[in-house]
Structure 1
Amino acid sequence: MTNNSIPTTYIPLEKFHIVPLTGLSPAELKISAKRTSRDREKITHTTKLNAIAKRLGITGGFAAYEKEYNGSLLPFMAKHNLRKRKNLLKHTKDGDYNLYFPFSHQQVSERLFFFEGPTPKKLFTGHDFDFSGPISWHSQDLYDALNEDSDWSDIILGNYHIKRAIDDNFDISHLSDRQQYLLKLDVTTEITVRLLDQTGLPNFLDFLNNKETEPKKREKRYQQVSVKILDLILLKNRNGSSSIYHLLGNSLTDIPSPSEYIKLYAPNTVPTENVERDLNSDKYLQLLLTKRIGEGNAGWVNVLPYNENLIFLSDDRGNYDFVIKNQRGKVFNHQLFGNNLKRADIPSFIEDYRFERWYYFEYEGNRELDGHNSEKHYYLNGGTVSNYPGIQTILREYYQYKGVYHPEHRSSNVRLDGFKQVSIDEKEMMVSELITIGDLINFLKENAEYSKNRQGDSLAPINSESDITLPASCTFFDVLAYINWLEKQTGVPLRILSYSEYKSLRGENWSEPKRGQDSDMTFISTSGEKYDSHPPYMAQNDFDNLHLRFPKPLHNIEENGLRFIDSNFFCEWLLEGVQIRSASLTSFYMGDYVLRASGPQDSTGKYKGMKTGFRLCYELKKH
């Protein structure tokens, strides 16, 4: 971020290099080239400059760019009065409760460069639009404003305007004559409401800071405020603002468009008439919003394409901004799991890292539009809110469906000892028993650096069983590091079971959850004291040192020739990075929605009196 709060533009190059761009002059580009971040391969300064020039739409290298800059770009800027660089996306008149959030430069870039249809001449970014007015009042302000007029209160709070607009059968004859008259007023009409005057009201923090015995009191004062009817309608329905305020379609451009985009998604089990009703309601609200922002020039910028890769934005006061084709808003973070796991310890089956890298460095397109389409695709194909796997997961699956992204399919002909061949979801797979404490101890000895630097629960106290053939308990990051290590030892593409595979493997062999029951695991202090129930609150370090051991005897159930712990307080880690309770197949929090209710990935489950283990698997090649 530069001193005048203009976000840095990041340009991804080949070989995972990233250029931070703060300006367009040759001198600024030279500085950007010097500050280019690289992953592994080196790149010369000249190569970087030539690549930057190409990304700005100039062929012939950096020398050609210098000539273009002085001979064409500067005259273009002078012609359009582009004198001072300014962030023309940042809202300068924001309200305390504004839900119309600023767009990023990457969003605007992708809307202008990767959207079918003509490029608009004007775009609403909201940069100097007054969001501090009624459109951003607190919800309580709306109720206070309507409190003195029951007719307006019924109309606005009852959403009569929306009902009248979307329902041909909405009968207004049952309303009073005044309500019918008010409802027929043009929504741009200004009305007067009474609002609480906040000026000079005593502040509770002032009372505390001044150490007064009693807070000062002031008689409530009210003020008359003029507001437009449509502002009150938008305020009443502002919780759905993200559905209508976005860069899809042309609702925020100067291009008239009969069909607009609404970010509304519902499972295919929801009745069609309900979806249509909500969709039409949002369309009406979007029309009101379009009408509201179209009343003046505030918030609008001029769109001035320079070439196929560079577009300027300007206001009418000499300020300008720019967007570049295929730009990014931040630097790519190769450390997918932060401090929890080094990149070198990430196993090959983690598709997230490969996808995120492809998404940042290789994919060119309108990500907001892709996100919208991926949501629709997810729900149209039977997706549910309860087991929503996450935005990036459904986006990746959508790209796979479109044939844009191709995940690596990993399989092997090797049949490792200790694995059982089973058929799961039309795949032949090799699945292991649960990894034992002995296996985990061996891994930690072989990987001393990982053991020294790992994050999360201490492993020794939760794996202190005298019988080291019992299942190990560990964090999700321990699982990944273990698989990465063993994969290198065996040459086999190991992973853990996905949620659907685990459910298929278990079949009907599970029990109903007994919610509210105490853990069957036993907490033991360092002095050997056993706790009858979950230990009382204590310092984190003291709790971390407590042992947690299996019940005796430990019961197992068998399915497909594999053993599973028959305890609701033993979980298994799944491919999606979530835990599933072994006895009831419920979530970490004992709910039905396993994929949405994951516990902390750096936890073994100990804080809830649970252990969490894992088993390995891999696919056999088809012949």
Structure 2
Amino acid sequence: MTGRQWLIHALPAEVGSCFNLIGDNLVEPADGDPVITAYQMQKPAVDLYNCIFEQFRREIESSSLGWVDVIPLPGNDNIVFLRGANGEFDWVVRNQRAEAFTGNTLHPLLTRNELPSAMDEKIRWNAHIYYATDIWFEKLTHDAEARHYEQGGTVQCWPGYDILHQRELLAQGYIKPNPKTGKTLEGFFPHRLKNRTLMVSPLVTIKELFEYLDHSDWREIRNKRIQTVDGSIRSRDEIFSINEETSNDYPAAVSWLDAIAYCRHFEQRTGVPVRLMTTEEWFEVAPEPSVQDSYLGWPEKKLTEPGPHRRPDWSLTYGPDLKVTNSASGIPFLVERGFFEWLFEHEDHFARMACAATGKALGAEISRGLYPVHSTMAYKGVKVGFRLCYVLDEN
């Protein structure tokens, strides 16, 4: 292996940022500057990536391996043929997708009619991106992420690709449908955002959760669905054991699926399109973090040490003197290192959560942490609750 090959193998992330078809990085001849899918870089980092790209180009140009000829079909702009060095061939059809569109990425854990109607907006966006013939998804993603940082965004407030794609399409002239709205409900706190009023509930309590479970078939459905991705008894049954507390007024600890199912139940009962808060909304509403993220769990013990508020299976019980802090809008937040809240965003079968005490997720920035939607996360020695929100109808 040559020194150049050692360099390329030693820097897979950096080389990966050069490996795209947005520019001419993988085309011969390579006209124009390389397109690097890395962001928020200072000049030394830009120079480093350009140097790595130069070595990468020299390496691929030194061999005929991997190169293909792109051959257009005369009279038909919708298909091109690819020819390898040894006679291999393939073809590419314009706008053909690798997979069929699915409006519900949570299947089989949740069916479409079990989702809150507020999640329809995400499905509409995904459908638009999938079916639009004028969207180049790879370039859309690159432009969207570049825009985020150019407009002052940071890693800490990174909202996820779904939101970035939406912002980029809106900047290009796409008209966003108005969000679903609802009437004023008792027990919800109004919080004024830039162009709407968000109504936010306190954390859903154990009592409210058990009332829902006692009057619905979610308990049985939940167990069967979770078995499709995790057959362990712990994952199926722990929602009951981890909510055995001295008071049913404590916040319920649930999986993200439980929270979504509860949202749908609440919407069917009240007619109000409730959902979980987005990451962006949560940062707007939550109080400022009050502790350093030096360790997790309740204050007297680290995550790796059994404490008086941990059961043998490492799930937590609530300790005394729980700290509650009200936000600027009067919304109560449980401010403990070992307590998190589920958020709206999800990618396939993984979702986000946030800790009001630290302003972070479990071992990561909120925007970077993704956790199994079917898990209560009790095996990590934490509790994850949830609250409801909706956009107020102000007409």
TM-score clears 0.5: yes
What residue is the counterpart of 2:137 in the other structure?
367
Asked whether the 8 Å contact 2:114–2:261 carries over to 1, the reply is yes
Q: Provide the secondary structure at the position in 2 that maps to 1:497.
A: coil
Asked whether the 8 Å contact 2:286–2:356 carries over to 1, the reply is no
What residue is the counterpart of 1:581 in the other structure?
355
- Which structure is higher in RCO with an 8 Å CA cutoff and minimum separation 6? 2
Q: Which amino acid aligns with 2:208?
A: D
- Alignment of 1:505 with 2:278, yes or no, is no
- Alignment of 1:265 with 2:38, yes or no, is yes
Q: Which amino acid aligns with 1:361?
A: Y
Equivalences for residues 51-90 of structure 1 within 5 A = none
Q: Which amino acid aligns with 1:300?
A: V
Shift in Å, 1:251: 4.6
What residue is the counterpart of 1:452 in the other structure?
221
Provide closer, same or farther for how the CA distance between residues 304 and 373 of structure 1 changes in structure 2, counting only shifts above 3 A: same
Provide closer, same or farther for how the CA distance between residues 555 and 360 of structure 1 changes in structure 2, counting only shifts above 3 A: same
Select which of 62, 71, 93 maps to 1:303: 71
Shift in Å, 1:303: 0.7
Shift in Å, 1:478: 0.9
Counterparts of 1:388 and 1:347 in 2: how far apart (Å)?
A: 24
Counterparts of 1:236 and 1:583 in 2: how far apart (Å)?
A: 38
Select which of 14, 21, 45 maps to 1:240: 14
Q: Provide the secondary structure at the position in 1 that maps to 2:200.
A: strand
Equivalences for residues 428-443 of structure 1 within 5 A = 428-443=197-212
Asked whether the 8 Å contact 1:572–1:613 carries over to 2, the reply is yes
Counterparts of 1:327 and 1:300 in 2: how far apart (Å)?
A: 20
Provide closer, same or farther for how the CA distance between residues 372 and 420 of structure 1 changes in structure 2, counting only shifts above 3 A: closer
What residue is the counterpart of 2:127 in the other structure?
357
Q: Which amino acid aligns with 1:337?
A: L
Counterparts of 1:517 and 1:243 in 2: how far apart (Å)?
A: 34
Q: Which amino acid aligns with 1:423?
A: R
Shift in Å, 1:409: 1.9
Asked whether the 8 Å contact 1:266–1:275 carries over to 2, the reply is no
Shift in Å, 1:325: 1.5
Asked whether the 8 Å contact 1:519–1:569 carries over to 2, the reply is yes
Unaligned 5+ residue runs, structure 2?
227-234, 346-350
Asked whether the 8 Å contact 2:309–2:316 carries over to 1, the reply is no
Q: Which amino acid aligns with 1:411?
A: T
Counterparts of 1:372 and 1:328 in 2: how far apart (Å)?
A: 19
Equivalences for residues 151-170 of structure 1 within 5 A = none
Equivalences for residues 1-80 of structure 1 within 5 A = none
Counterparts of 1:566 and 1:284 in 2: how far apart (Å)?
A: 50
- Alignment of 1:493 with 2:283, yes or no, is no
Shift in Å, 1:371: 2.4
Select which of 381, 385, 395 maps to 2:151: 381
Counterparts of 2:66 and 2:315 in 1: how far apart (Å)?
A: 64
What residue is the counterpart of 2:179 in the other structure?
409
Q: Provide the secondary structure at the position in 2 that maps to 1:417.
A: coil
- Alignment of 1:427 with 2:196, yes or no, is yes
**RMSD of the TM alignment (CA)?**
3.4
Provide closer, same or farther for how the CA distance between residues 520 and 263 of structure 1 changes in structure 2, counting only shifts above 3 A: same
Provide closer, same or farther for how the CA distance between residues 235 and 257 of structure 1 changes in structure 2, counting only shifts above 3 A: same
TM-score (normalizing by structure 1): 0.53
Select which of 315, 337, 340 maps to 1:568: 337
Shift in Å, 1:566: 3.6
Q: Which has the larger radius of gyration?
A: 1
- Alignment of 1:619 with 2:391, yes or no, is yes
Q: Provide the secondary structure at the position in 2 that maps to 1:482.
A: helix
Unaligned 5+ residue runs, structure 1?
1-140, 143-155, 157-229, 523-529, 537-542
Counterparts of 2:87 and 2:283 in 1: how far apart (Å)?
A: 62
Equivalences for residues 136-535 of structure 1 within 5 A = 141-142=1-2, 240-254=14-28, 256=29, 258-267=31-40, 270-271=41-42, 273-285=43-55, 287-289=57-59, 291-293=61-63, 299-306=67-74, 307-315=76-84, 320-350=89-119, 351-404=121-174, 406=176, 408-412=178-182, 414-425=183-194, 427-449=196-218, 451-454=220-223, 455=226, 456=235, 458-508=238-288, 510-513=289-292, 515-516=294-295, 518-519=297-298, 532=308, 534-535=310-311
Provide closer, same or farther for how the CA distance between residues 236 and 579 of structure 1 changes in structure 2, counting only shifts above 3 A: closer
Q: Which amino acid aligns with 1:292?
A: S
Asked whether the 8 Å contact 2:335–2:355 carries over to 1, the reply is no
The C-alpha deviation readout for 1:93-139, integer Å capped at 9, x for no partner, is xxxxxxxxxxxxxxxxxxxxxxxxxxxxxxxxxxxxxxxxxxxxxxx
Q: Which amino acid aligns with 1:259?
A: G
Counterparts of 2:387 and 2:197 in 1: how far apart (Å)?
A: 16
Provide closer, same or farther for how the CA distance between residues 517 and 234 of structure 1 changes in structure 2, counting only shifts above 3 A: closer
Counterparts of 2:378 and 2:315 in 1: how far apart (Å)?
A: 9
TM-score (normalizing by structure 2): 0.79
Provide closer, same or farther for how the CA distance between residues 399 and 286 of structure 1 changes in structure 2, counting only shifts above 3 A: farther
Counterparts of 2:315 and 2:5 in 1: how far apart (Å)?
A: 60
Shift in Å, 1:475: 0.9
What residue is the counterpart of 1:36 in the other structure?
none
Q: Provide the secondary structure at the position in 1 that maps to 2:185.
A: coil
Q: Percent identity?
A: 24
Shift in Å, 1:394: 2.5
The C-alpha deviation readout for 1:555-574, integer Å capped at 9, x for no partner, is 43333222222422222222
Counterparts of 1:553 and 1:535 in 2: how far apart (Å)?
A: 19
